[in-house]
Amino acid sequence: MGTRYEDQPTEHWAGAESLDPTPVWKQYLLIALLLFGGLIAVLVVSLLAILPQIVTPPALVPGDRLVLPIADLPGVNQQPKRIEPSVADGRAFYLGRPATAEAVGLRARWAPTVGGTECPVDVITTTRAGGFEFGYAARCETSGGRTYTFNARGAASDDSYRGLDQYLVSRSDDRVIVNLSRVIEAAQRIGGPIPTGIPKPQQP
C-alpha cells in the first residue's frame, strides 16, 4: 500500500463535511450559555447572602442562619431568653445581652471536655456588688452530680474547666441573626492557663 494520500483506498478518505468549520452561531450560543450560567450563579449567591435581611423573622434560612425579631433580644443584664430552633436537633441556646453593644448565643448544653457527654445548662442569678446578674449553671451527672457555673458571657467561674460553647450572633435595627452552622467551642484546659469562655471586649 502506498504512503501518499491519493494511494489510500477511498473508504479511508474523510468526507467533505469534516472540513467544514463549526458554525459561528454555535460558538456564540455556547458563550451565551456560559455567561447566563455565571449570571445565575452570582444571583443565587447574592440572594443567599442578603436573605437574612429580607425575610420576615422568625425564620431559618439556608446556611442554618436563624433570623429573630429584635424584640427577642433581652435588655442589658436582663434574663437570657431560651431559643429552640427545633426541639429535636439539640441546638437550643440562650440569647443574652451582657452589655449594650453585645449579644451572645450560648448553647443550652455543655460538656466539661470537648466531645464529652453533654449536660443541660440553666439560667441562674448571681449576686454582685450593688445588685445581681444572670449567669448559667450546668449540672453534670457524669461528673458525680457536680455543678459548673458561668458568668453572663459564658466564661467559666473556675479556671479548672472550660466555658460555654456559643453561636455567632449579629444584629441590626430590627432583627437578630444567629449562625447555627458552626459551634464556636470554648477552649479546654490542658495543663496550663488557656483562655476560656467568651472574653470581655475591650472598650474603645
User: Could you give the C-alpha distances from 142 to 33, 111, 138, 155, 157, in angstroms and in order?
Assistant: 60, 10, 11, 21, 20
> For the chain, what percentages of helix, strand and coil (3-state, to nearest 5) are there?
25, 30, 45
* CB-based burial label for 138 (10 Å; 0-12, 13-18, 19+): buried
Model confidence pLDDT, tens digit, residues 107-116: 999 999 888 8
User: Span 185-195, mean pLDDT?
Assistant: 63
User: Span 70-82, mean pLDDT?
Assistant: 94
Strands 109-110 and 166-171: unpaired
Answer whether 78's CB lies under 8 Å from 103's CB.
no
Provide the 3-class DSSP secondary structure of residue 133. Answer: strand
Rounded Cα distance between 104 and 108, Å, is 12
Predicted local confidence at residue 114, as pLDDT: 87
Cα angle for residues 63, 69, 74 (degrees, 5° grid): 115
Q: How confident is the model at residue 189 (pLDDT cuts 50, 70, 90)?
A: low
pTM of the shown model: 0.72
User: Span 129-152, mean pLDDT?
Assistant: 88
Rounded Cα distance between 87 and 4, Å, is 80
- DSSP one-letter string for 134-184: EEEEEEEGGGTSEEEEE-TTS-BSSTTS----EEEEEE-SSEEEEEEEEEE
Answer whether 134's CB lies under 8 Å from 79's CB.
yes
- The residue among 166, 161, 164 whose CA lies nearest residue 146 is 161
pLDDT of 87 > 90? The answer is: no
Predicted local confidence at residue 195, as pLDDT: 41
What φ, ψ does residue 54 adopt, rounded to 5°?
-115, -15
* CB-based burial label for 152 (10 Å; 0-12, 13-18, 19+): buried
Q: How many CA atoms lie within 13 A of 106 on its CB side?
A: 32
